[in-house]
Amino acid sequence: MQRRYITVDVFTDRAFGGNPLAVVLDAGGLSTAQMQAVASEFNYAETTFVLPPRDGAHDAQVRIFTVNKELPFAGHPNIGTAFVLATQVAKRPARLKFEEGAGLVPVEILQAEGRAVGAELTAPQPLNKLTSFNAAQAAACISLSPADVRTDRHPPLIASVGLPFLMVELASRDALRRAKPDASAFARIFPCDGSDAVYLYTRDVPDAEGCDLQARMFFPGLSGLTEDPATGSATVAAAALLADLSGERDGELKLRVGQGVDMGRPSLLLTRVRKANGAIVSAHVGGACVQMMEGTFRLEGEG
């Protein structure tokens, strides 16, 4: 059977930026093992597989795979998949609802001049704050000193709105630039609370970079620890965490988050978190997308 795929760069408005994603549009009949093999073949951070929804009120079931495992939820795969689906129909939807392991994920289609240009997702779960670590433990994971880690707003801790990450605030843009993963220190912390990845961010951002935070994310790839150019699930969790810690009781808190700059794939992620009576009502992350490649591969289903 011929199966169509489209690749897209996510969280960027230009080719060869952002985070690449492969979207397999004709995934019916594929087994879990086949999906994993296809994702490993593409060798992107994630590959998505679009299936008919279990509930007719929804638009699709979306399964998300890294090169070595399936995820219950992820950011740029939702943004990119929604963008791709919106470009494949004559009547463009304003919103899509995806069934995923973490729950139902609503995704709004961003439009400009009558065409889809990106998407924005709503996190499927409320903020969950889990295990905390000290500055020395977190710093060791990323080859920095404890003095490079800020703890005045929060200690390094695992947080999730659908997929857990170790959140670490750094004191300076220079520290963020110098960070690199240390495998032995990683192994002392992970896996923990279902997480195997660390998300670093700093508020120390030069005006020229055009954002409120700069971030990086390290995780286990096919051949060791690697870096992700844009991580929507971590970014929206960080935005929710910072909104939870802020003094505002009501309103919408927005952030522009840069990522991928230090690895040559600049990305811009736009977050907004709604609060009412001191509680988070919803958390969102979105951005632009650029279609890159399309094609087919032949694979009979065995699912």
Q: Which positions are annotated as active-site residues?
A: 46
Position 24: which residue type? Answer: V
Q: Tokens standing for 110?
A: 């961003």
Which sign, positive or negative, has the C-alpha torsion 182, 17, 156, 284? negative
Position 193: which residue type? Answer: D
DSSP category for residue 263? G
Decide: 185 and 197 in contact? Cβ < 8 Å: no
How many helices (H) and strands (E) in the chain? 6, 18
The Cβ of residue 225 has, within 10 Å, a number of other Cβ atoms equal to 17
The Cβ of residue 296 has, within 10 Å, a number of other Cβ atoms equal to 12
Q: How far apart are CA 99 and CA 160, in angstroms?
A: 18
What is the crossing angle of helices 75-87 and 232-245, to 10°?
Answer: 120
Nearest to 82 by CA among 96, 94, 72: 96
Q: How far apart are CA 295 and CA 6, in angstroms?
A: 7
Decide: 203 and 212 in contact? Cβ < 8 Å: yes
Nearest to 160 by CA among 260, 235, 107, 106: 235
